[in-house]
Every structure is written in structure tokens, then in C-alpha cells.
A and B are shown apart, each in its own frame.
Chain A
Amino acid sequence: MANVWTLTKLLVFLRYKKFKADLQYPANFVSEMIGTAFIGVGDILMLWIPSLAFKTIGGWNFWQLGFMFALWKLAHGLHAFMFGAFLGHDDLIRDGEYDRLLVRPVHPLFQIVASDSWPADALSEWIPSFTMLLVTAPHVQVPWTALTIAWVILIVISGAVIEWAVSLFISVFGFFFTRTNNLRGIASTFLFRVAHFPAHIYGRVFAFVLTFVFPYAFMAYYPTHYFFKLDVQLYSTAFPYITPLVALILLAIAMLFWRIGLGHYQSTGS
């Protein structure tokens, strides 16, 4: 297959072309961005109001909560930008688009990743989250060096990959003649619970699910412990440091499952 550089160039090229197409409707673009910015505001209020009323939540103060939220939302926004197209995976199979993907000399997953443009909601999710990051950054207990910043970036990327790995895994069920919307619904129910509040307040069962079933707690909750030197209350003190590893493992599992699903699709047709 081609080398990584050629693929990246192709991805940028494809996304740019799609972006151009979306810009043909500027009113829609702007309206969507403003609308989704409101979600960000709503999000922040969701953790600000309770922290005003209760001072700490699960022992975490507003700065810690805000930082965790920022990490999560940056990752979530990055996921929407890079991998949002997988929400329509069922349709790709149903409409026969997958055949078209298979007939081109480029990896099908890459084609799906490359098909989406820069959705307006990705940008608008970055603005409130980036602001939040800047606001809470001064309160962090770890010195801000180039290394720390690199670590934040790595966590955000890993977080997006974790969210994608789950989404990809769920998408594969579409190859087996199942609709995936129910599973996605359940996954997203858990996804949004790690955004505002620390996972350890949810009791043993939910904390387990958020760590080992839908490992969204690794997106922001666990990493935040390092930045504020917090005591780890769940499972292992190593967890704040293994987010990138978790991302790689999950992605490997999801890709393997995808291969299996594709194999099934290719022996039965539809």
C-alpha cells in the first residue's frame, strides 16, 4: 500500500474538496456553528451551576471538573471531525456504497474517514472546550512545559481514537444485518456521562462499564488525575497514564472485528 505521507495528502485534499462543497451554503454553515456553540455553553453551565451550589462534586472542584470537561470535549470534537462519517455506516452497507469502496484501490476505512468534510459542529465544539482549557490551565498542579502540552495533545488524540474504536466496533454489526442505532444509543448514553462529572461518583457498576466496557473514562477522567495530582479512587494508579495504550488496543480490536465483518459481507453479499 501507499506510504503514510501520500495518504495524508490525499485525506487533506479530499476533505478540502468536501469543505468547499459545504461552503456553498454559507448561511447553513454559520447557523449550524452558532447552534452547536450553544451546546458548548449548555455543557459548561451543566458543570458550573452544580459546582456553585455544591462547591465540590465527588471531591473535585470547578477547575478540575472544567479541565476534565475540556479534555473530553476536545477529544469528542476531534472525533466528530475525523470520524463522524461512521455514524452513517449502516447506510453505506444498505445502499450498496460499500461495493463502491471495495472497487477502489484505497482502504475502505480510509475512504470513509476521508468522505466527511469539516462539519460545523466540530469547530464550535472546539471553541468552548479550548476556552475552558485555557481558563483551567493555570490551576493545574503540574508545570506547563512543552512535554506537558505534548501529553495533552496525545491524550486528546487518543480520546478521539477511543471514541472511534467503539463507534467502529458497533458499526461492524451492520455487516451482520443488524441495525446499529440501538447500540449506538446506549454507547452515547455512557459517553456523555464522563463529560461533566468524575466517573467515581457513579457507583461501582457504572464506573466498571465506563472503564472496561465503553472505556470512555480514559478520554478525560483518568488523565485529569495526573494534572491535579489527585488520588486515584478507581482500580489502578497506573490508569491516568495509559490512555494512548488503551486507544491503540481498542483500535486494534475494532479493526480486527471490522475485518471479520467485512469477510462476512464478502461471502454473503446482500
Chain B
Amino acid sequence: MITTFSQWAGDLPAGMAIIKSHVQETLVYRFDLVIGLVRALILVGVFRYLWLALYTGRPDVNGASLAQTLAYAALSLIINPLFSNWLIGKVANQMRTGNIIFDVTRPSYFGDLLLYQTVGQALVKLITTSIPLFVIVTVWLRIALPDTPVVWLGFAVSLVLSFLTAFYIDYLASLWNFWVTNASGMRFAKWSITDFLAGVYLPLWIFPAALQQVVLLLPFRGINYTPLAIFTGYILPDRIWPELAFQLVWVVVLMFVSRRLYVAAMRKLSVQGG
């Protein structure tokens, strides 16, 4: 009895050390999360002021009311982190360390592997950041929520399609790493282009008409713009399904193109060797 107790007591320091280090890790992680939330809220506040200042004196712009734009701006900052933007750097890293060889020789397709990882990350962000922010912001800013289930459903489906669109675009861009040793320039370009064409900071409805028509043809609108336009009611309920179809078509096209590009990348890789 006494020996087992002293054994346990002897193990206690080791056990405590492990627990302590885990707690520390989680605390650091939590702290980062909180700071992330604070930063997001700062941005939401800042952009809110911007749109209020811009809209002074006018009821709407291109059919979008102030309320719609405010809602769009706030929610855009919340849903955007869910969409893949980090694959270029990630694949670049794998290339640099040589670990890429494990990724591409696994039985499952490289793209699928990345997809699962990205889904996992998005889910974590959804739970830890996006949903809390969504609740905080909609209450704080008194954002009008959609009143019909159709719109909610459309929004949810659109979000999933947005995620996939963003993923395949990011994945396509990351394949650039197989042709160039340092793709960080590509990363900046991709971020700027995507942010602009997806309407992350500027809702596409404020673009001048001619530009808007061009931009609306591209897949990027399926990233931020579509789900938010549905949510804020800018896209009317009867137009939801065509919008979703548009997103879906692009997802399929991008998926197909990325597979082809991957095959080409693999050929390039085997030519280069190790």
C-alpha cells in the first residue's frame, strides 16, 4: 500500500509536468485566439465607419442599401478566414524541406489530401472563431438576419461551395511551386487578386458597371460575394439557385483543371528528380 502510494507520488512530478506543459500550450493558443477575435472586431468596426462615411447622404448604391453593405462588410471579414489562402506557402514549405515526396507518393491523390487538411482547419476556425464572431457581430451591429429558411439554406450551401471554390483556386496556385523554387511572389499576387475579385473588402456591387460585368463572369465571385449577397438579400430568393449553380459549375471546372495541372506537375517533378 505504502509502496504504491510512494510510487504514485514519485510519478506525480512527471505527470504534473506533462499536464502543465499542455495547459501552457492551450493557454497560449487561447490567447492567440482571443487576440484574433479582437483584431477581427477592430476590423469590423473600422470598416463599418468607412461605409457609414461613404454612404452619407445617399440611400443606396447600385441597388444596395446601407444596411446591406454594412452587413456584407462585417460578415465578409468573418467568413473570409474560412477560405483557403495558405496552400501556396504550405506546398512551398513541403518542397523546401523535401517532405513533398511523402505527400505525393501516398495512395490518395495529393489534392484530396490537402482538401481534407483544409476542411479540418476550416472546421476548427468555424467553431473557434467564425461562429462566435458571427454571434457577437450580428447582435452588436443589429444585422438583419434572413427571414426565410430558403435563404438560410442557400447561404449554407453557398458557403460550402465558396469553400470549395477557394480551395481549388488556392490549390491551383500552389501547384505553381512545382515550376518555381520560390513562390512567395505568387502568394502576394494571388491574395491581392483574389481579395479584390472576390469582393472581400469591396462588395462587387459598387464596382462600375463595365468592370462588374467582367468580374461577375469569373469564379472568384463565388468565394465571398455569392454567399453574402444571398444572406443580405441582394440576390433575391428566386435567383438563389442559378447563383449556386454558377458556383457549382466553376467548382467542377476548377477541380478538373487542377487534376490536369497536377499530372503535369508530377511529370515535371519526376523529370527533375529529388
Contacts and interface: CB of A to CB of B under 8 A. Distances in A.
A186 B35 contact: yes
A185 interface: yes
Given A28-B180, A201-B53, A33 B208 contact: no
A206 B180 contact: no
A42 B208 contact: no
B218 interface: no
A42 B36 CA distance: 24
Interface in A160-209: 179, 182, 185-186, 189-190, 193, 197, 201-203, 206
Interface string A45-80: 110011011100110000000000000000000000
A38 B193 contact: yes
Interface string A10-39: 000000000000000101101111111011
A197 B49 CA distance: 11
Given A34-B189, A58-B53, A182-B31, A27 B206 contact: no
A191 to B, nearest CB: 12
A218 B181 CA distance: 39
Contacts of A27: 180-182
B134 interface: no
Contacts of A41: 192
Q: Which of B50, B55, B183 has the most CB of A within 10 A?
A: B50
A66 to B, nearest CB: 16
Contact of A197 (B36, B50, B196): B50
Grouping DSSP codes into helix (H, G, I), strand (E, B) and loop, the B interface class, with mixed when no group exceeds half, is helix
B54 A42 contact: no
A24 B36 CA distance: 38
Contact of B186 (A31, A57, A179, A190): A31
Contacts of A121: 188
Interface stretch (B5-13, B40-48, B99-107): B40-48
A182 B32 contact: yes
A197 B50 CA distance: 8
A26 to B, nearest CB: 11
B187 A35 contact: yes
Given A42-B192, A50-B206, A201-B53, A206 B45 contact: yes
A203 B43 contact: no
Nearest to B55: A54
Contacts of B191: 39
* Range class of the A interface residue count: 35 or more
A53 B31 contact: no
A202 B46 contact: yes
Grouping DSSP codes into helix (H, G, I), strand (E, B) and loop, the A interface class, with mixed when no group exceeds half, is helix
Contact of B208 (A52, A58, A190, A203): A52
Interface string B130-169: 0000000000000000000000000000000000000000
Contacts of A179: 28
B185 A32 contact: yes
Contacts of B50: 197, 201-202
Q: Which of A30, A49, A206 has the most CB of B within 10 A?
A: A49
A133 interface: no
A69 to B, nearest CB: 15
Contacts of A197: 50, 53
Contact of A202 (B49, B201, B208): B49
A32 B189 CA distance: 9
B124 interface: no
Interface in B177-217: 180-189, 191-193, 195-196, 201-202, 206-208, 211
A36 B201 CA distance: 19
Q: Which of B36, B189, B211 has the most CB of A within 10 A?
A: B189
Closest 7 CB pairs of A and B: A35-B185, A28-B182, A42-B192, A32-B185, A201-B53, A31-B185, A38-B189
13 contacts: A27-B181, A35-B186, A36-B188, A41-B192, A50-B54, A53-B62, A53-B206, A182-B32, A186-B35, A186-B38, A189-B43, A197-B53, A202-B49
Interface of A: 25, 27-28, 30-36, 38-39, 41-42, 45-46, 49-50, 52-54, 57-58, 120-121, 179, 182, 185-186, 189-190, 193, 197, 201-203, 206
Interface of B: 28, 31-32, 35-36, 38-39, 42-43, 45-46, 49-50, 53-55, 61-62, 180-189, 191-193, 195-196, 201-202, 206-208, 211
